[in-house]
């Protein structure tokens, strides 16, 4: 069994989307460009020294995209190519896989073997070269990202040699609750309020003894 998958092998297709998040209409793409710009600003805002715990969590989550996340290829913010929007969409999968398909690999090995045999028949071969065991070059891998950028299942782009961040979409996903919900009321305590302040980066002082 091969150690890695071939490019695009067993990658689940995208889903039909009836919202406008991945619409390729000009007006929707313009909104996505704005979203990409805001995500870039947020990413830079988390690159601070001694970040507050909540800022650290946002930074770490943005740099750990998971399948299903809305993601952005980081160079997309600076590219002016017409297809920049293919770097902003839903992450289907990311993985280490073979750089080439099995068929391409077989053709590459056959070409390398033929070149080696031609060398042995040429004027630069030395006695004993034919006795040396021949091995093809080591097969290489890529880290590939599969992004659904449009509303149809086939609207999937494969990215390599790149870096993706997750775009936060849950405005409350980073909070540490400052209170405990009890029925229709929320109960706050001194410790929960202090914990919320500390999580936001406030420096808390110990009370002075009399």
Same domain, 78 and 3: yes
- Residue 121 is predicted with a pLDDT of 76
Both 193 and 95 in one domain: the answer is no
Query: Can you give the residue range of the structural domain that contains 108?
Result: 101-139
Give the mean pLDDT of 72-100.
Answer: 88
Same domain flag for 127 and 72:
no
Structure confidence at residue 125 as a pLDDT band (50, 70, 90): confident
- What is the average pLDDT score of the chain? 83
Sign for the pseudo-dihedral over CA of 19, 90, 36, 53: positive
Mean pLDDT across 164-171: 89
Residue 180 forms beta bridges with which residues? 187
Residue 127 three-state SS: coil
In this prediction, residues 104-127 reach a mean pLDDT of 80
Tens of pLDDT along 23-42?
999 889 889 889 888 998 99
Verify that 25 and 90 share a domain, yes or no.
Answer: yes
Rounded Cα–Cα distance for residues 73 and 177 (Å)? 32
Q: Which residues pair with 98 in a beta bridge?
A: 141
Whether residue 89 sits in one domain with residue 37:
yes
Q: Is 28 exposed, middle or buried (0-12, 13-18, 19+ CB in 10 A)?
A: middle
Q: What is the pTM of this model?
A: 0.78
Classified as helix, coil or strand, 146 is strand
Whether 120 has a pLDDT exceeding 60, the answer reads yes
Residue 154 pLDDT: 93
Residue 41 and residue 160: Cα distance in Å, rounded? 24
Q: Which residue has the higher pLDDT, 151 or 135?
A: 151
Mean pLDDT in residue range 88-98: 96
Q: Does residue 194 register a pLDDT over 90?
A: no
- Does an H or E element contain 73, and which? strand 70-73
Q: Count of domains in the chain?
A: 3
**In the structure, what pLDDT confidence band is assigned to residue 88 with cuts at 50, 70 and 90?**
very high
The pLDDT tens digits of the residues spanning 48-70 come to: 888 888 888 899 999 999 999 99
Are 134 and 48 members of one domain? no
41 and 61 share a domain?
yes
């Amino acid at each position: 069994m091969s150690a890695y998958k071939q490019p695009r092998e067993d990658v689940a297709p995208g889903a039909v989307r009836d919202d406008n998040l991945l619409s390729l209409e000009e007006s929707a793409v313009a909104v996505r460009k704005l979203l990409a710009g805001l995500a870039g600003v947020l990413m830079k805002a988390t690159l601070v020294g001694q970040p507050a715990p909540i800022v650290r969590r946002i930074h770490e989550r943005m740099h750990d995209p998971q399948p299903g996340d809305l993601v952005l290829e980081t160079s997309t913010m600076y590219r002016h190519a017409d297809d920049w929007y293919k770097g902003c969409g839903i992450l289907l999968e990311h993985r280490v896989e073979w750089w080439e398909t099995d068929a391409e690999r077989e053709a590459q090995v056959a070409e390398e073997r033929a070149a080696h045999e031609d060398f042995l028949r040429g004027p630069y071969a030395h006695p004993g070269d034919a006795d040396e065991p021949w091995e093809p070059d080591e097969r290489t891998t890529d880290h590939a990202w599969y992004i659904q950028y449009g509303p149809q299942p086939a609207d999937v782009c494969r990215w390599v040699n790149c870096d993706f961040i997750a775009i936060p979409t849950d405005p409350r996903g980073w909070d540490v609750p400052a209170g405990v919900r009890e029925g229709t009321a929320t109960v706050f305590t001194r410790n929960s309020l202090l914990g919320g302040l500390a999580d936001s980066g406030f420096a808390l002082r110990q009370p002075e003894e009399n």
